[in-house]
Structure 1
């Protein structure tokens, strides 16, 4: 699970406080989330990659600290990430997949966690598809 906070949270796009991202990461690492139940059923492990959680996360088994920055900037005020940060974040994904496969994993399933992620996802889908943001978000 790749985790990071979104600066657009400052615009009030969600009812949830940004601290929930770090709380959910702790829940994943503690085995208390639905993804953990699914993983247990198939004998898989859950690991969390901190690519950009705003909070500092304590070292914990299963946590891969790969922070590019502590949360993105507010995309309504300018770029959420610089080109260099985007490249670094993509490289984190590539390196994580490479390392997990090298460790003997046969299948990798990805997930994400970050409060205000729906707004960021909708913005990307809107740009990539040319669809009006209101249609993308419902």
Structure 2
């Protein structure tokens, strides 16, 4: 009996009607298949939050000032943000990484320095970053994943912070999935209708300016330092056969890019939630992702990962601890 057949048999033999635990059964099956065991486990869960600024923010594509990026990073370090409280609640290790914030964080602040610049270039005038810088960002993201793996982590999620970063996410969706740009662009941090129209106009000019061919070129042209680091991290987590949990719109744009480079990442990926940012649903449809939660979230930071994690744990707890029909002395209703 192969592992997939054995997992289905074990799941179906728990004391419940077949399929009655719904999506939890599929999550348990997926993790068991990743780990190639009937008794999968989650060890030392971690969320990596990458922060960076974006040159395109100078064009008014976000209603928020760029300074909020570094202010929110300091809030992360002080433990006061959404991701902090949810990570604490569920025992998830949290690492805050400066991928390219336009601010010098004080020594000893707790921010991990991986800065590649003080924000990407304004892609209205030049590509967001060079191919070499993009490769460097991906490798740094991979290295952070390796560090967690070496400390016994086998389940990892990704979060982000960066004013203006729904713009690169929208452009990556447009370029990779071929979806009209106006369907990819949403309110971001809170644009009104006029703000969304302005944002879409700016991004249309950006999209028409360049014609990159490969996924790496597309990422370098339209991406962000934090998105490139997450992309590299996702690819490395797949190489290490970890369970990978995706967050919202911006984080999923990194998964989308990684998918274009290596479609096999989906074998190891759970999508934590369906964001209230309209482009996220289109990303999930393109990736054939089945989100765990539908809570109208649009905060980012990895909060969807932290909120979905206890349900992922529940999937394994039922698989590993729930009695089977035979041992419980209960008639197996799945057998006619």
TM-score normalized by structure 2? 0.40
Question: Hey, what does 1:93 align to over in structure 2?
Answer: 141
Greater CA drift, 74-83 or 104-113: 104-113
Q: Deviations over 1:38-78 (max 9, x none)?
A: 11111122211111111111234542101111100001111
**Gaps in structure 1 of 5+ consecutive residues:** none
Q: Distance in 2 between matches of 1:92 and 1:119?
A: 23
Question: Hey, what does 1:11 align to over in structure 2?
Answer: 59
Q: Distance in 2 between matches of 1:88 and 1:30?
A: 29
Q: Distance in 2 between matches of 1:125 and 1:21?
A: 23
* Correspondent of 2:76 among 25, 28, 41: 28
Please identify the structure whose Cα radius of gyration is greater: 2
Question: Hey, what does 1:102 align to over in structure 2?
Answer: 150
List, as ranges, runs of 4+ consecutive aligned residues in structure 1 with deviation greater than 3 Å: none
TM-score normalized by structure 1? 0.94
Higher relative contact order (CA 8 A, sep 6+): 1
Residues 55-94 of structure 1 aligned to structure 2 (within 5 Å): 55-60=103-108, 62-94=110-142
Q: Would the aligned equivalents of 1:29 and 1:47 in 2 still touch at CA under 8 Å?
A: no
Greater CA drift, 101-110 or 10-19: 101-110
Give the length in aligned residue pairs.
138
Q: Distance in 2 between matches of 1:88 and 1:128?
A: 22
Partner SS for 1:10: helix
Question: Hey, what does 1:126 align to over in structure 2?
Answer: 174
Identify, as 1 or 2, the structure richer in helix.
2
Q: Would the aligned equivalents of 1:5 and 1:71 in 2 still touch at CA under 8 Å?
A: yes
Q: Distance in 1 between matches of 2:100 and 2:175?
A: 22
Q: Distance in 1 between matches of 2:176 and 2:75?
A: 33
Partner SS for 2:158: coil
Shift of 1:115: 0.3
1:49 corresponds to 2:93 = no
Partner SS for 1:55: coil
Greater CA drift, 44-53 or 88-97: 44-53
Partner SS for 2:156: coil
**Gaps in structure 2 of 5+ consecutive residues:** 1-48, 187-336
**Superposition RMSD on alpha carbons, in Å?**
1.2
